[in-house]
Chain A
Amino acid sequence: MSFETSIGSIEIRNPLILASGVLGTTYSTLQRAYEAGLGAVITKSIGPRPRSGNPNPSVFALQEIRSLINSIGLANPGYQSFRHDIEYLVKSETPTIVSIFGENQTEFSEVLDGLKDLNILGFELNFSCPNTEKGGSQIGTDSETVFNIVKTLKSKTDLPLWVKLTPNVSDIIEIANAAVRGGCDALVAINTIKAMVIDIQTKQPILGFKRGGLSGSAIKPVGVRYIYDLYESLGGRIPLIGVGGIYKGEDVVEYLLAGATAVEIGSAIGVAYPENMIRFITMKIKKYLKEHNYSSVGEITGGAHK
């Protein structure tokens, strides 16, 4: 039974990838997440310079819907400082995708130029963070900007570029097409959904930034639908990576059936014992493969499109 997965030119040992923003601030947690059994890891989104992000509270759980809301807002050490962490990851042979962001094309280029010589698997372009005033999902909602940035970055590197899409748009297919025309190597869907929680006692939005993004179980059906739509519209032209609300092996299978080649897991990995979580997910996928007479995980992709 094969778990090996190809996403374009990238080959990883299984289709489970650590989503950006979880356990991704330092090489040691990323290394640990990989050793826990994932196929690859994606770093926290890295920008041109150190950034404190938004005030706390910036992340908490909504237990009743097994979800998280966050407004961390791209807090990161900047690419110059984070280079050292990536060097550690490369040295320890941790398959790493570096998530990058910028407020505009110039900033994206600066970050990419500053890191592209490293022996990483590729870059994920974060066009979809909902927790900033500039950049983030503002970029990801304009197809022309998406096209221009992807095209420019593609001309600067041979490394694969993945584009992470925001669900907070009226037509995700239009944005996806722009990214594909620009030359991206895979599409990742979805980032968090715009959300808010208000404390009724003090009548205050709880997050320090007031507004945030929702991840976890509550958004899984949204993510599955977007992957389904993207697969239907783009066919086999480009690999799709599903993300949003994966807690179980069955959730992974669902995303693969919708059309994903691989998945990213975030909220569920940020638990006390990620090792157990990953083992449990893997076990359930194996069981599914066996029960449905598949010999490899790649055969599931797109199975729901008949």
Chain B
Amino acid sequence: MTKQTLPNTKPIMCKIIKKEEECEDTYTFLLEVPVKVQRAKPGQFIMLWVPGVDEFPIGIAGFENNFLEIGVAKMGEGTEALLKKEIGDYLGIRGFYGKPFKPPKKVKVNHLLIGGGFGMTPLKMLTTSLLHQEEKQEIHVFEGARTKSRLMYLEWFQHLHDKEKLAFHACTDDGSYGNQGYPTVDLENFLKESEDPSIFYVAGPERMMKVIFDIGKKYDKVIDMQMSLADRYMRCGFGVCSYCAVDPTGWRICVDGPIFNTKQLEQITDFGVYKRLDTGEKERI
């Protein structure tokens, strides 16, 4: 087996070795990657091929010993076909693509991970990575969902919370779990009280991210915000087609992102305002 440094190939076929219902309409799949590849980093994504149906970008929830964990929610024709796949079936993957989250080293900060829905997948992987860091720093996870049954990785985060590895702040629109309302409320309450500098790591619907970005801008103690724009239409995944590009910088989400920091997000006028369709046309978010 050769170790690939730039695994930019046709889809590599991986066997599904585990499939579990994670929460309502959402499943976790564990795939066995048959070739040795460099470690995936939190925030990177793969292009996932459901043979004969579709291919789309999807976040990585974990990668250990060549086993790849992904979380899939029912979104359209492609994901619906994917959710029908069972253990033993094959899926194609390309990647790992994109620039990862970059937690600063040797700086005392609060790591604030904020997300909702499928955005929780890269945040799960980031949590694993932060927990492995030598210097123990405060990790706070803010998750929002419509209702309790839609909180992704609820048990996983709650378990870490109970073990005092991190603080888990869940909230739901209907109040069925955690505080009622959006995660932004818990986030602002935390920011008002905390004294140390904080860094945001955000993944989820872009409108939500824009709201969080605007909140972060109000606080000097928020020293950086890293947000994933992976929830956009992509074709190639490696920078050639430009259907995912944002204006006016010409950055391609797939290679220049999907994780962008505060300085970059400030330059992307499309952020939270326009997305691109498969025609290349822009549409208001």
Contact = CB atoms under 8 A, between A and B. Distances in A.
A63 B242 contact: no
Contacts of B242: 22-26, 29, 44, 270
A100 to B, nearest CB: 15
Given A55-B54, A58-B235, A25 B11 contact: no
B163 to A, nearest CB: 39
A27 B92 CA distance: 33
A22 B280 contact: no
Given A26-B247, A28-B245, A75 B54 contact: no
B281 A77 contact: yes
B189 interface: no
Interface string B232-264: 000110111111011111101001100000000
Interface stretch (A147-155, A183-191, A197-205, A293-301): A197-205
A96 interface: no
Contact of A81 (B9, B90, B243, B281): B281
B245 A25 contact: yes
A26 B250 contact: yes
A69 B9 CA distance: 11
B279 interface: yes
A62 B240 CA distance: 14
Interface in A20-69: 21-32, 44, 50-53, 55-63, 68-69
Contacts of B239: 270-272
B250 A61 contact: no
B52 interface: yes
Interface residues on A, range: 35 or more
Given A56-B54, A60-B10, A202-B51, A29 B250 contact: yes
B8 interface: yes
A28 B249 CA distance: 6
A44 B277 CA distance: 15
B241 A57 contact: no
A278 interface: no
Contact of A56 (B55, B240, B248, B281): B55
Interface string B30-53: 000000000000000001010110
A77 B276 CA distance: 10
A208 B245 CA distance: 22
A28 B248 contact: yes
A271 B247 CA distance: 18
A28 B252 CA distance: 10
B241 A72 contact: yes
A59 B241 contact: yes
A14 interface: no
A180 interface: no
Contact of A206 (B6, B92, B250, B252): B92
B94 A60 contact: yes
Contacts of B56: 56
Nearest to A21: B241
Interface in B43-86: 47, 49, 51-52, 54-56
Nearest to B9: A63
A29 B236 CA distance: 15
A22 B11 contact: no
B255 A59 contact: no
B76 to A, nearest CB: 12
Interface of B: 6, 8-11, 13, 47, 49, 51-52, 54-56, 90, 92, 94, 235-236, 238-243, 245-250, 252, 255-256, 276-282
**4 closest Cβ contacts across the A-B interface?**
A270-B240, A28-B250, A32-B250, A56-B55
Given A31-B250, A60-B94, A267-B240, 19 more contacts: A22-B242, A23-B242, A24-B242, A25-B243, A26-B280, A29-B245, A32-B250, A53-B278, A55-B54, A57-B49, A58-B235, A59-B235, A62-B9, A75-B279, A199-B13, A202-B13, A204-B51, A270-B238, A272-B255
